[in-house]
Amino acid sequence: MSDCIFCRIVAGEIPAARVFEDEATIAFMDIGAVNPGHVLVATRAHVANVFDLDDAQAAALMRTVARVSRAVRDAFAPAGINLFQANGRAAGQTVFHFHVHVLPREEGDGMRLDWPVKNPPREELVANAERLRAVLRG
């Protein structure tokens, strides 16, 4: 896709500080890095979101995420690491090419990831689990 910035990075049309590449994935430094070692891991093929990933792409991407996360840990010794991935505008997705942020964390770095805990009743959790099982069974 000629208008996708990540496709252009994959194609070498836009420079990026590449960290790792294989046949299915690419990892490069985030130009909007929060902390040193902030890496984006993306599919090489244009896939807009998690819903469009096939199982092979999902497996390859997670292998690269785990490998890069270990490298970030060993190279930068952060206090922690977040993996962040968004699907759709409502979830905060801004680049519509599937990618995962490997985000090294330090105490007091200003990053926040919190949500309002609603504590639904157990019956609602059980009903929701059944709805999901039904879809997964096909």
Read off the pLDDT of residues 39-65 as tens digits, 9 standing for 90 and up: 999 999 999 999 999 999 999 999 999
2 pLDDT exceeds 80? no
What integer is the mean pLDDT of 97-125?
94
Which residues are marked as active site?
A: 99
DSSP 28-76: EE-TT-SSTT-EEEEESS---SGGG--HHHHHHHHHHHHHHHHHHHHHH
Architecture of domain 5-111: 2-Layer Sandwich (3.30)
The token pair at 89 is 């505008």
The domain segmentation of the chain, as residue ranges, is 5-111
CA atoms 28, 29, 31, 35: torsion sign: positive
pTM of the entire structure? 0.93
The residue assigned the tokens 């922690």 is 80
pLDDT, residue 1, reads: 64
114 pLDDT exceeds 90? no
Whole-angstrom Cα distance, residue 62 to residue 9? 20
Question: Cα-Cα-Cα-Cα dihedral of 44, 50, 56, 61, to 10°?
Answer: 60
The helix (H) or strand (E) run that includes residue 9 is: helix 5-10
pLDDT, residue 50, reads: 97
